[in-house]
Structure 1
Amino acid sequence: MIEIPQFNLVVKAMTLNLQMSRIDRINNLLNDPIFAAKTKKDEEMLLETIKTSHRLVKYMKISIVLAGAFWSTSLLAKRYQDPTAVVYIYTPFDTVSWTGYFFSVMMEILPLPWIGCGHLAIDCLIATYYAQAEVQLKIIKYNLEHLFDADGGMDGAFYRGRIFYMDELDRDLRTRFVHYFERYEAVAWYTKEVSDIFNHALGFEFFSSSAVLCMVTFKMSYTPMFSLAFAFFTVMLGVLLMQVFLYCYFGNMVQYESDSIMTSVYLSDWLSASPQFRRDLLVAMLRWSKDITPRVSGIIPLSLATYVSVLKSAYSLFAVLSTKH
């Protein structure tokens, strides 16, 4: 069962190393002034995303430590209950004694921290990239919604019988509007580039996750519930579910925030803008009507619906194995 996660990690690592120049470009874009915070509210949203990423890494680390502890303890408990129990790996020494058996257990669980930390680093990296796209869309949406807010609470002004619109009173308003339009275009390119870079890694992740989830669930079905082995499989199941959920959740949030960009314009005080500025808004809204949807292989959207489909596929495989068993 552990061979599939190992090969999955190799695919991710190869993708990361072979696409390093493209990854440098998206990292440079994240440091570009176009993605910088302009207001205090922007800073708050960016800081909240950073805190979310840190919590995510923390929970994944705890899961890896728990999985290693439960696995090693379950193997030792198995030997305590059955003196003839062995670990099914090749060892260049005798495992009849407790010392030999202990070292064989260490050899068995040794790949787990390497595999777990490798998946942790790359999975959290990809999820953070999508989280950055999400928060940038949030910033754009919030600022478009408050684009026509007047500091003095005035929607316009009358002078000598003429109406002055907000874009005439505030000469920087059009500049801010153009900035957020260009920022959206940068987010669209950034999201597509992230999806293209990790396309093969995510494709194999979705393909292999169904098989591994099926095997873990199948082993749990005939493992005593109140045992260390069952606890290990439970933690492993949680980690596997979290891996796929990360991609689908943040991909779904990017699509959701992209869909609501146009709504933010409707919620703004756009009536206080001049007719010419309103025409510019309509042109921009035509562009924003095409949402940003992260996809795998250009076909499968990273969404919660896709996550449910992966779980259904894993359950279908589990049902077939259970019938055969």
Structure 2
Amino acid sequence: MENFDWKLTIRANILVLKVAGLWPKGSEIYKLNLYTLYFFVFINGHNFFQAANIFFVYTDLEALSALIFVTITDVLASFKVYCFIRNIAILKRLLAKLDKQIFQPRNEQQRDLVQPSLNSWKYTYTAFCIPVFTTLVLWAIFPIMDGTVKDRRLPFSAWYPYNTKISPLYEITYLYQVISVWCLAIANLNMDTLIAALMMYIGCQCDILCDDMKNLRNSVESDFNRKLLDCIEHHKTILSFATDCNKFLSGIALGQFFVSGMSLAVTMFQLTLVSPLSGECYSLLFYVSSVTVEIALYCWFGNEVEIKSSQIPYSAFESDWTGIPIEAKKNLLIFIMRSQKPIKMSAINLFSLSLSTFTTILRTSWSYFAVLRQVNAQD
């Protein structure tokens, strides 16, 4: 049977990262060269000018909130890019592991078994792209939509050491801001979805392992103990894959969760200050949707890993274990005891990626939002 190509699902994802300057060719790690230099010029320059503007508006809560929700998102994306670059060797090692024979489906039934998970990731990728690209388009054309382009308003509030109100400096700065934010957002989107794909692969391997355990039979033609040892080896390989995956995503997830709560709160506060049904209102609504889906992406697929891995010991009970030799029973018992601890994806072991974490972040965001509303009402 032809080998199953796990990376075929994320082919477009990797292609975009290559275009963004975040995917060195082959097995190479990240290097400072012309391939990656342009990406940093766009990202770090724009983030610096946005952050510098905070010192000019920090006394005005409304102006500060309008600036900070974009700035902290861009700074977070830069931090995630740094973590991605730092751990690119781990990521490429993880993708290379997917080609191992032990990770291959054993038959057509198992290929059909994992296909819904692969399709689920594809649908999620598409669903995430829609609010992100809509937000980017609205941000890019907002000065045109509300007519402030006549006053030389830029898409994003930032400080520059020159007069941006005159041509052609205004047009150049406008284009620079749009390209910078698009480049950063697209890289951020594909990093998030790639991490979700890694967790999806872990869940698929748990599905395959569960199917193998259920179909263990004790007969002349089938050596139960030998096949059980193969399943144990598969489980150890899955645990190793999950450990490396946690090393790769922990820093990114930690930054994402800490910043997202604040970002959602500031954005909801900003929604209370803009005119309803205006272009700025729609852009903020799509931005809130993008950030919410982004958090849900980590928590949903992390939760799926925990649920699917928790089914492994139950699958072992469904095997034909009643008439097996005593040695095989001992091995099966040890395996069941070991697999009772589910696989958990986490951010440096501070909190797990789960649906309960997702609801906690949303509650925290609402608390921050209530504080901002109260402070603004007092002023």
Counterparts of 2:347 and 2:283 in 1: how far apart (Å)? Answer: 31
Alignment equivalent of 1:227, drawn from 244, 267, 278: 278
The one-letter code sitting in structure 1 at the alignment partner of 2:260 is S
The one-letter code sitting in structure 2 at the alignment partner of 1:20 is I
Indicate whether 1:324 and 2:369 are aligned: no
Cα separation, partners in 2 of 1:217 and 1:46, compared to 1, 3 Å: same
Report if aligned partners of 1:89, 1:104 keep a CA contact under 8 Å in 2: no
Counterparts of 1:262 and 1:212 in 2: how far apart (Å)? Answer: 40
Residue 153 of structure 2 is matched in structure 1 by: 86
Q: Secondary structure at the match of 2:146?
A: helix
Counterparts of 1:75 and 1:261 in 2: how far apart (Å)? Answer: 55
Indicate whether 1:139 and 2:208 are aligned: yes
Indicate whether 1:62 and 2:130 are aligned: yes
Corresponding residue pairs, total? 305
Q: Secondary structure at the match of 2:109?
A: helix
Residue 117 of structure 1 is matched in structure 2 by: 186
Residue 267 of structure 1 is matched in structure 2 by: 318
- The Cα of 1:217 is off from its aligned counterpart by 1.0
Counterparts of 1:139 and 1:258 in 2: how far apart (Å)? Answer: 11
Counterparts of 2:139 and 2:164 in 1: how far apart (Å)? Answer: 21
Q: Secondary structure at the match of 1:271?
A: coil
Indicate whether 1:23 and 2:91 are aligned: yes
Map 1:161-310; keep pairs closer than 5 Å. Answer: 166=218, 168-310=219-361
- The Cα of 1:39 is off from its aligned counterpart by 1.3
- The Cα of 1:108 is off from its aligned counterpart by 4.0
Query: Which deviates the most, 281-290 or 139-148?
Result: 139-148
Q: Secondary structure at the match of 2:322?
A: helix
Counterparts of 1:94 and 1:307 in 2: how far apart (Å)? Answer: 41
The one-letter code sitting in structure 2 at the alignment partner of 1:242 is V
Query: Which deviates the most, 213-222 or 4-13?
Result: 4-13
Report if aligned partners of 2:246, 2:346 keep a CA contact under 8 Å in 1: yes
- The Cα of 1:29 is off from its aligned counterpart by 1.4
The one-letter code sitting in structure 2 at the alignment partner of 1:215 is V
Report if aligned partners of 1:64, 1:113 keep a CA contact under 8 Å in 2: no
Q: Secondary structure at the match of 2:343?
A: coil
Alignment equivalent of 1:36, drawn from 94, 104, 121: 104
RMSD (Å) for aligned C-alpha atoms? 2.4
Give the TM-score, by structure 2 length.
Answer: 0.73
Which deviations, in whole Å up to 9, do the C-alpha atoms of 1:155-203 show, x marking residues without a partner?
xxxxxxxxxxx2x423343332211111111111111111122222211
Counterparts of 2:169 and 2:144 in 1: how far apart (Å)? Answer: 12
Residue 14 of structure 2 is matched in structure 1 by: none
Alignment equivalent of 1:13, drawn from 69, 81, 85: 81
Which deviations, in whole Å up to 9, do the C-alpha atoms of 1:224-243 show, x marking residues without a partner?
33122111111111111111
Counterparts of 1:281 and 1:2 in 2: how far apart (Å)? Answer: 53
Counterparts of 1:267 and 1:225 in 2: how far apart (Å)? Answer: 57
Q: Using the aligned pairs only, state the percent identity.
A: 18
Report if aligned partners of 1:214, 1:317 keep a CA contact under 8 Å in 2: yes
- Structure 2 segments unaligned to the other structure (5+ residues): 1-68
- The Cα of 1:137 is off from its aligned counterpart by 0.5
Cα separation, partners in 2 of 1:172 and 1:40, compared to 1, 3 Å: farther
- The Cα of 1:282 is off from its aligned counterpart by 1.0
Which deviations, in whole Å up to 9, do the C-alpha atoms of 1:217-271 show, x marking residues without a partner?
1111222331221111111111111111111111111111111111112233333
- The Cα of 1:49 is off from its aligned counterpart by 3.3
The one-letter code sitting in structure 2 at the alignment partner of 1:118 is A
Counterparts of 1:243 and 1:231 in 2: how far apart (Å)? Answer: 18
- The Cα of 1:84 is off from its aligned counterpart by 4.8
Q: Secondary structure at the match of 2:304?
A: helix
Counterparts of 2:319 and 2:335 in 1: how far apart (Å)? Answer: 14
Q: Secondary structure at the match of 1:243?
A: helix
Give the TM-score, by structure 1 length.
Answer: 0.85
Counterparts of 1:64 and 1:55 in 2: how far apart (Å)? Answer: 15
Cα separation, partners in 2 of 1:94 and 1:18, compared to 1, 3 Å: closer
